[in-house]
């Protein structure tokens, strides 16, 4: 198998192993080995330029330097001379808002990859990376297909809402909420309060969304609202305990609070959910998301 073909095959094989973040570093290692580079960097970004930067074997470039390696207007892929000892490949896949910049740093007087070989390998690198991310976000689709109806669908996005990978169920939920078309960018803005290390939750277009930090990106889970979404975190804990048949006294002991406090929480839970009996609570919490009004 010819060298570049073998590299491409190795990239796709590697994309199916491990998580997407480890793939990026391993993929750069394969590029260095194939083209004789001493170091490599791969920056995937949206409009806000805050995406994911991976470098191998150690950091040697900043995003400020990489941002200067721009794609020509109207272009899709280009190979540039980044410096006397470096080559750059810049690529924006059709139908995506993302721009990928891959830089290979060579030892002095080393032979460089041909533009054709680097462009071909670079495009497959990005495609394999997209496959690795898609495999990551589709985990909840698989759990849902196995009966976990409360699992949310997923997407991997940056802080500006550019989509790096999106599961089929996430796309379907957006369409049901009135957001049809390609999902290259979220049809809503993520609040700054949800973009910290702790992430956050929000309601948008009739969907419950949970945001979690994932490297420099954000893992976004979407699902239809559940009854518990109307309750505070402590009320949710007590509601689950009540639905499992625990007494007020045992719940108070479990959470180290007074029985009267549990009773007050219970009253608020019933009022928020517009129910009157424990049996109603049990029935409500076992409803599938699609049946909740």
What is the model's pLDDT at position 232?
A: 84
Residue 291, pLDDT score: 43
Q: In the chain, how many domains are there? A: 3
Q: Do both 87 and 120 map to the same domain?
A: yes
Indicate if 108 and 67 belong to the same structural domain: yes
Structure confidence at residue 205 as a pLDDT band (50, 70, 90): confident
Residue 152: which pLDDT band, with cuts at 50, 70 and 90? low
Structural domain contains residue 142:
no
pLDDT at 220: 92
CATH number, domain of 172, equals: 3.40.1840
Closest by Cα among 91, 116, 118 to 104 = 118
Contact 58, 6 (CB under 8 A): no
Residue 192 lies in a domain: yes
pLDDT for 139? 80
Q: Do 250 and 218 share a domain, yes or no?
A: no
3-state SS class at 168: helix
Residue 143 has pLDDT above 60, yes or no: yes
Q: What is the mean pLDDT of the chain?
A: 88
Extract the tokens encoding 192: 């700054």
**Pair (126, 161) in one structural domain:** no
Residues 132 and 21 in one domain: yes
Check: CB of residue 119 under 8 Å from CB of residue 89.
yes
Query: CA–CA separation, 222 vs 34, rounded Å?
Result: 40
Are 291 and 284 spatial neighbours (Cβ–Cβ below 8 Å)?
A: no
Domain end among 136, 170, 196:
136
Residue with token string 């929480």: 265
State the CATH number of the domain containing residue 109. 3.30.450.40
Residue where one domain finishes, among candidates 193, 225, 257: 225
**Residue whose entry in the numeric block shows the structure tokens 């029935």:** 283
Same domain, residue pair 166 and 179:
yes
182 and 66 co-located in one domain: no
Helix axes 115-137, 20-35, angle to 10 degrees: 160
In 3D space, the residue among 30, 207, 262 whose CA is nearest the CA of residue 125 turns out to be 30
- Give 138 or 12, the one with higher predicted confidence: 12
The pLDDT confidence band at residue 144, using thresholds 50, 70 and 90, is low
Question: Quick check: 129 pLDDT over 50?
Answer: yes
pLDDT at 243: 86
The pLDDT tens digits of the residues spanning 216-273 come to 999 998 887 777 777 888 888 888 888 888 999 999 999 899 999 989 989 998 888 8
Using CA atoms, how far apart are residues 183 and 165, in angstroms rounded to an integer? 9
3-class SS shares of the chain: helix, strand, coil, % to 5: 45, 20, 35
Query: Which structural domain range is residue 155 located in?
Result: 148-225
What's phi and psi for 222, nearest 5 deg?
-125, 140
Is 141 contained in some domain?
no
Q: Report the CATH number at residue 238.
A: 1.10.10.10
User: Above 70 in pLDDT, residue 167?
Assistant: yes
- Are 281 and 267 in a shared domain? yes
On whether residue 108 sits in a domain, the answer given is yes
**Residue 84 burial (CB count, 10 A):** 7
183: confidence class by pLDDT, cuts 50, 70, 90: confident
Note whether residue 212 is domain-resident.
yes
Q: State whether residue 201 is helix, strand or coil.
A: strand
| Cα gap 227→219, rounded to integer Å | 23
Residue 155 and residue 120 share a domain: no
Cis amide prior to 57 (ω within 30 degrees):
yes
What is residue 149's predicted lDDT score, i.e. its pLDDT? Answer: 52
201 and 241 fall within a common domain:
no
What would the two tokens of residue 44 be? 């995937």
The answer to the question of residue 67 being in a domain is: yes
Examine residue 190 and say whether the peptide bond preceding it is cis (omega within 30 degrees of 0): no
**Buried/exposed 220-244: b ≥16 CB within 10 Å, e otherwise:** bbbbbebbbeebeeebbbbbebbbe
User: Is 175 in the same domain as 192?
Assistant: yes
Write down the pLDDT at residue 28.
98
Q: Residue 55 domain-assigned?
A: yes
Rounded distance between C-alpha atoms, residue 281 and residue 22, angstroms? 44
Q: Are residues 115 and 73 in the same domain?
A: yes
Q: Is the pLDDT at 47 greater than 90, yes or no? A: no
Residue 143 lies in a domain: no
Q: Is the pTM of this model over 0.85?
A: no
| Predicted local confidence at residue 292, as pLDDT | 42
Tokens read off for 178? 């009135």
Q: Which residue, 225, 241, 274, sits at the end of a domain?
A: 225
Lookup: tokens for 202: 């929000």
Q: In sequence order, what are the residues at sequence separation of 6 or more whose Cβ sits closer than 8 angstroms to the Cβ of residue 179?
A: 187, 205
CA-closest candidate to residue 102, choices 217, 16, 11:
11
């Amino acid at each position: 198998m010819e060298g570049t073909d073998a590299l491409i095959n190795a990239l796709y094989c590697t994309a199916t192993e491990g998580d997407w973040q480890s793939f990026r570093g391993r993929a750069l290692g394969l590029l260095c080995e194939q083209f004789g580079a001493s170091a490599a960097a791969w920056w995937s970004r949206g409009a806000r330029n805050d995406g994911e930067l991976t470098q191998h074997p150690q950091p040697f470039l900043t995003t400020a330097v990489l941002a200067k390696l721009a794609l020509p207007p109207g272009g899709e892929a280009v190979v540039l001379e980044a410096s006397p000892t470096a080559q750059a490949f810049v690529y924006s896949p059709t139908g995506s808002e993302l721009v990928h910049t891959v830089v290979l740093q060579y030892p002095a007087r080393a032979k460089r990859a041909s533009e054709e070989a680097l462009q071909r390998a670079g495009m497959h690198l990005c495609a394999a990376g997209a496959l690795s991310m898609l495999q990551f976000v589709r985990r909840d689709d698989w759990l849902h297909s196995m009966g976990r109806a409360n699992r949310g669908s997923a997407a991997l996005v940056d802080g500006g809402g550019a989509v790096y990978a999106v599961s089929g169920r996430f796309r379907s939920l957006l369409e049901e909420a009135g957001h049809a078309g390609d999902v290259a960018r979220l049809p809503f803005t993520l609040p700054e309060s949800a973009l910290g290390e702790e992430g956050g939750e929000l309601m948008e277009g009739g969907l419950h969304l949970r945001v979690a930090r994932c490297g420099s990106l954000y893992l976004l889970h979407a699902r239809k609202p559940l009854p518990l979404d109307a309750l505070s975190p402590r009320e949710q804990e007590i509601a689950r305990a009540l639905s499992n048949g625990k007494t007020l006294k045992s719940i108070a002991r479990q959470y180290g609070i007074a029985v009267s406090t549990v009773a007050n929480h219970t009253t608020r839970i019933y009022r928020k959910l517009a129910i009157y009996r424990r049996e109603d609570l049990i029935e409500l919490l076992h409803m599938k998301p699609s049946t909740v009004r």
